Structure 1
Amino acid sequence: MFTGIVQGTAKVLSIEEKPNFRTHVVALPDALLPGLETGASVAHNGCCLTVTHIDGNNVSFDLMKETLRITNLGDIKPGDVVNVERAAKFSDEIGGHLMSGHIMTTAEVVKILTTENNRQIWFKLQDPTLMKYILYKGFIGIDGISLTVGEVTATRFCVYLIPETLQRTTLGNKRLGQRVNIEIDPQTQAVVDTVERVLASRDGGHQAVVDAGHKA
């Protein structure tokens, strides 16, 4: 599990391509190295990856075909930078919201509005059916960052970013057309799905009564 509070950024040093598979090496910040072992989980742009090799600050991770397909990690090149977070411990402060590191889809940056002290970024989901889980003032994970949803339309949503978030993460460098990883808040998803099931069962029961009345 992760908290959605990005602990730093890491430059991608190299990428080794294999059939339907990729290994990339990043330079992890010194602060994230203590206690790091092979098999540990580190989120890259919110996607949970497993450490496969450690050589000083150079840490290797394997990416499967499905990860490359669903997330924006398949777009990165050597020299690019990713947001990183070590897996949370039970004693850690949860400053954001609990996140699994399982990316559901990506979103395209479609509008950026900048003012003196903050930035508003609008996104369009690759899978529009997931918009039902994007709620005003709800939680969402964007490239591993726990954020509060701002305005929401039928097809788009935005978040507001303070200078600290812009400085500590990669969102400060995002440009129009670029993709970000999206993790939906699981509690929001559970509530929405439950309400849908309850309403569907009620509608089904009502229809059954109507049909019975017609037959009578």
Structure 2
Amino acid sequence: MFTGIVQGKATVQAESQVGRNKRLEIVFPAGVMLSQQLGASVAINGVCLTVAEIGHDVLTFDVIDTTLALTNIGLLQTGDVVNFERAAKMGDEIGGHVMSGHIMTSVTVSRIEKIEESVHIRFTTDRQNEVDARRYLFNKGYVGLNGASLTISDIGNDWLEVSLIPETLRLTTFSSLTVGDKVNLEIDAHTQATVDTVERILKERGIVLP
């Protein structure tokens, strides 16, 4: 479980292909992972990954092909910077919203607008994607983007927009995004459960949604 509060940025030190999978070595800020253990979970750009090896401020992760195809982890190269969050423990404060690290799909940066100290980023959803997340997205709803718990500030038929404050920009990789970049999207589990339940009940009663 994760809270959606990104704890900082880390850098890909090395990446290699292992069959259809990928192995990532990621360098973290000094001391951040001192108590980390093999088999522990860490969210990298919002993707829940398992620690396979531990070095000095370096963790190694093995990523399977399905995750590579679904997320932007497959695009990572040596030198790229990622968001990270260690798994939450019982009793930790949930500063964002509860997240699983299970990505539903990816969205594409289509517009970046800076207004005074804040930045507004628009993401386009892919209508051709076999996973359609649009029915789970609504204005002022929660969404996970590259591991950060954010509130949707505006939404259209095929896009959503978030507004970022300076502290979020400082702690995350959002400040370095450019138009065309792919970003991982995780739907709020409570929203998904509610929508799926309502749709199932309506279908059972023969009610067809527009």
**TM-score between the two structures when normalised by the length of structure 2:** 0.94
Could you give the per-residue CA deviations for residues 88-142 of structure 1, whole angstroms, max 9, x where no partner exists? Answer: 0012110000000001100000011111110110111233721010111111000
The Cα shift of 1:25 comes to 0.3
Q: Distance in 1 between matches of 2:203 and 2:81?
A: 45
Q: Distance in 2 between matches of 1:58 and 1:201?
A: 51
The Cα shift of 1:29 comes to 1.7
Contact 2:31 2:57 in 1 (8 A): no
Contact 2:34 2:57 in 1 (8 A): no
Structure 2 unmatched ranges of 5 or more? none
The corresponding residue for 1:194 is 197
1:203 aligns with 2:206: yes
The Cα shift of 1:145 comes to 0.2
Partner SS for 2:205: helix
The Cα shift of 1:52 comes to 0.7
When structure 1 is superposed on structure 2, of 99-108 and 128-137 the one drifting more is 128-137
Could you give the per-residue CA deviations for residues 150-192 of structure 1, whole angstroms, max 9, x where no partner exists? Answer: 1111111100000111111001110000000000001001111
Partner SS for 1:198: helix
Map of 1:17-36 to 2, 5 A cutoff?
17-36=17-36
Could you give the per-residue CA deviations for residues 1-33 of structure 1, whole angstroms, max 9, x where no partner exists? Answer: 000000011000001112101111011123421
Q: Which amino acid is the alignment partner of residue 105 of structure 1?
A: T
Q: Distance in 1 between matches of 2:158 and 2:47?
A: 24
Q: Distance in 1 between matches of 2:58 and 2:164?
A: 30
The Cα shift of 1:48 comes to 0.4
- Structure ranking higher in helix proportion: 1
Q: Which amino acid is the alignment partner of residue 75 of structure 1?
A: L
The Cα shift of 1:202 comes to 2.3
1:183 aligns with 2:169: no
Contact 1:106 1:182 in 2 (8 A): yes
Q: Distance in 1 between matches of 2:207 and 2:45?
A: 42
Contact 2:32 2:57 in 1 (8 A): no
The RMSD of aligned alpha carbons is 1.4
Q: Distance in 2 between matches of 1:101 and 1:129?
A: 18
Q: Distance in 2 between matches of 1:43 and 1:29?
A: 15
The 3 A distance-change label for structure 1 pair 154 and 90 is: same
Could you give the per-residue CA deviations for residues 20-64 of structure 1, whole angstroms, max 9, x where no partner exists? Answer: 011110111234213101111110000000111111112111011
Structure 1 unmatched ranges of 5 or more? 206-216
Map of 1:31-180 to 2, 5 A cutoff?
31-126=31-126, 127=129, 129-180=132-183
Q: Which amino acid is the alignment partner of residue 157 of structure 1?
A: L
The structure that has the greater radius of gyration is 1
Contact 1:2 1:85 in 2 (8 A): yes
> What fraction of aligned residue pairs are identical, expressed as a percent?
45
Aligned residue pairs total 205
